[in-house]
Amino acid sequence: MKYFAVPMFLVAVLLAAGAVQGATQFSTTATYTTPQATDGAANIGLSGTPITVTMSGSGMFSPWTGYLIVGRTSSGTAANAELVYTDSAGQTSGGSSTLCVGYYAGGVDVLRLTASAGTFTAGGTAVSHYIGCNVGTTGSGTLYLEGGTFDAKGSVTVGGRTSGSSGSRGYVYQTGGTFQTAASKSLFIGGSTAGSGTVGYYKISGGTMTVGGDLNVSASGASGISSTFEVCGSGATSITIGGTFSLVTSPDTTLRFLMDSGGVDYISTYGVKGGATGATNNTLTGVVDLGFVGAYLPTVTTTYDLIRTTYNGLPTFDISGVTLSQEDIDAGWSLQAVNDGSNKFTVQATYTVIPEPATMGLLGLGLIGLMFGRRRSR
């Protein structure tokens, strides 16, 4: 498993330093259609009043090299703030900037890329970015990716902290657009230094995901940290992991697939790791939750591809450590790992149609009627 490119204490120092070095404060609800020059940092938030800052036209932050915090007042406290991108020309970029959607306990903060948004570029390769950072168990940071491109040059943590011991809540809802990290840069759902009460949640139902490094669902496996990666239906174009997909063994770590009439989008990954620390190759562990979108239910037994590996260096693939709920088992679900003959594996879920009790009863009556009919004919 890979860890953050910059030590967490150093990120905290950089954030603290930026907070006192000429940060530009955005504290009113407004729409910006021209570039907003900032002196090394940008904060969005107003004490006591939720605000929304919208970037339209060529509106962007340029340049900013310290950090961008969605949810920070001028006095360095939590705020409820939303940053929205609505135009294909609007973008945010910075050579070494750190993005934090939420950074103070209690803040409820949002970054939203609408269906018409352009490219939002988050920072350089030497920093990490956070969706829900230090917001505690009452606050949250959320990315709504409806369109455009969220382009992270560094690693991204959804639900984590840079300091203190309390938990933090981070959420990503991707219904369109593109989420991507640079080569070798990872996505952590539930950070490695997250405290008890932390929630890391990523749901993709549309668009494209490309992670240049690893995708880690729970980077620590510690108790009290809820980490979930959910693939909802067949609306996404592709989900591609350049490194390994890691699902840590923990009752609070969940990989969820919900199928629709078109099936479900599978995860393409170089390899899969599992175990208590997510370090065991070709091993899938943890909780796998299976179901359907809405009222959809197949009428015939159906097999779905969930994960496909592109690495062919290991001849076995172990799924014995996967936990399926008894409810899923009773509903007719089962899992298997299939070797394509070249040691590339596909993890599949099969849904076996189980006749309803009423159907079984009618079948039984039909058999009884058939028996009586035969007796009469004799």
CB atoms within 10 A of CB 220: 23
Mean pLDDT of 221-227: 76
Of the two residues 83 and 21, the one the predictor is more confident about is: 83
CB 163 within 8 A of CB 104: no
111-129: pLDDT as tens digits: 999 999 988 888 767 788 9
Could you give the dihedral angle defined by the CA atoms of residues 370, 371, 372 and 376, in that order, rounded to the nearest 10 degrees? Answer: 100
pLDDT of residue 15: 41
Under the banding of pLDDT at 50, 70 and 90, the label for residue 1 is very low
**pLDDT value of position 362:** 46
How much is the pLDDT for 219?
65
22-41 average pLDDT score:
84
pLDDT at 90: 63
Q: What is the pLDDT of residue 276?
A: 79
pLDDT bracket for residue 95 (50, 70, 90): low
Instruction: Place 175 in a pLDDT band, splitting at 50, 70 and 90.
Output: very high
Q: What is the model's pLDDT at position 255?
A: 96
Tell me if residue 375 falls in helix, strand or coil: helix
**Residue reference for tokens 């938030």:** 45
* pLDDT score of 11 more than 70: no
Dump pLDDT digits (tens) for 273-302: 998 777 889 999 889 999 999 999 999 999
Give the mean model confidence (pLDDT) for residues 58-69.
76
Which range, of 46-55, 58-67, 119-128, 259-268, averages the lowest pLDDT? 58-67
Asked if residue 61 has pLDDT above 90, the reply is no
pLDDT at res. 59 = 78
Contacts of 370 (CB under 8 A, 6+ apart): none
Q: Looking at the predicted structure, is the pLDDT value of residue 256 above 90? A: yes
- As a whole number, mean pLDDT of residues 133-140 equals 88
Give how far Cα 27 sits from Cα of 46, 50, 159, 299, 316, Å. 5, 9, 25, 55, 56
Rounded to an integer, the average pLDDT of 332-353 is 96
User: Does 96 score more than 80 pLDDT?
Assistant: no
Burial class (CB in 10 A: 0-12, 13-18, 19+), 177: buried
Q: Is the dihedral of CA 224, 140, 186, 23 positive or negative?
A: negative
Locus of tokens 């009460």: 197
Average pLDDT for the chain = 84
Token code pair at residue 165: 């011991």
Confidence tier at 378 by pLDDT (50, 70, 90)? low
Number of H helices, E strands in the chain: 3, 29
With 70 as the cut, is the pLDDT of residue 160 above it? yes
